Every structure is written in C-alpha cells, then in structure tokens.
Amino acid sequence: MKEAKKQGGLNAEIQSRIGHQLRAMYDDVVRQGVPDRFVDLIRKLDVPDASPHLGNTGEKNDGGE
C-alpha cells in the first residue's frame, strides 16, 4: 500500500499572515533610522586616519624596524 506523501511546510494563508506580521514589525525598525553614534562611527571610518597605525602587538608602528 502506498503511503500518502506528507505535505510539509506552511500553507499559503499562514505564510501570508507571518509575512504581514514581519513587515509590520520591521517597518517600525526601519523608520527608526540609524542611531547617531553609528552615523558618527561610519563617518570616522570614511575619513582617512592621520594618526599612526597600530601593529599586531598593539604598539604604534612608526615604519621603522
């Protein structure tokens, strides 16, 4: 006797409800925008750094050996 194939996953109505709830939740997050502290960090990363770079040991790298 052949077994009926079990249908996995969620039906279209449940998927639609989940999608609607996720959009409602994440739309609120998107409207909040980027926090000022993150904007400041991004700006700092975009500007070339004039200070000496740190080496792997955490000491200033002055280019000499």
pLDDT, tens digit, for every residue of 18-45?
999 999 989 988 888 888 999 999 999 9
On whether the CB atoms of residues 61 and 51 are closer than 8 A, the answer is no
On whether the CB atoms of residues 11 and 17 are closer than 8 A, the answer is no
pTM of the full predicted structure? 0.39
How does the average pLDDT of the chain come out, rounded?
77
* The token pair that represents 6 in the structure block: 């079990």
Mark out the alpha helices in the chain (DSSP H runs). 12-32, 36-46
pLDDT at 48 over 90: no
